[in-house]
Amino acid sequence: MDCIISPGRMEYLKGKKPEGCIFCKDSIRDENLVMYEGKSCYVIMNKYPYASGHLLVVPFRHIGDIGDTSDEEKTEIMDLMELSVKIMKKALKSEGFNIGMNLGRAAGAGVDSHIHLHIVPRWIGDTNYAAVVGDTRFIPEGIEETREVLIPYFQNIKEV
């Protein structure tokens, strides 16, 4: 059996869990993961990505039910999703995307009290036998490296 090492995951599993909502805390900005802040929502790198470049669009307000979003939040979630897709197509040469929300713990939401939209870039051939047979994903680039590629685009959105 092959052994795949993912040291960042153990830090999460054994580490102290933050109190309260991770998406509402100012400390999330201390981790250098926020890519862009809009009027009612922001874009953040997923600290534990499904694939390199995995982003989240998150409302600033603590909202656990999609029906509680304002019209402004609904619009900005979609606008930031579109912006993120454009940026990843240019910066990462993404060939496709998985986009969606896991609403409720039964649907797989890791944080079910604060809605957030996942944007996962995909490439032809980016999955292989390990994901199917071994229930293992390979993520070829760390989030710090991916952030350095993406952040100039988010800082200059008028050019996107």
The answer to whether residue 116 is catalytic is: yes
Gyration radius from the chain CA atoms: 16
Rounded to a whole number, what is the largest CA-CA distance in the chain?
51
Please, are residues 57 and 77 in contact by the beta-carbon 8 Å criterion? yes
- For 78, list phi and psi in degrees, rounded to 5: -70, -40
Query: Which of 54, 114, 116, 118 is the catalytic position?
Result: 116
Please, are residues 46 and 117 in contact by the beta-carbon 8 Å criterion? no
- Count helices and strands (H / E) in the chain: 5, 5
> Within the chain, where are the H helices?
7-14, 27-30, 71-91, 129-133, 143-155
Please, are residues 40 and 72 in contact by the beta-carbon 8 Å criterion? yes
Catalytic annotation, residues: 116
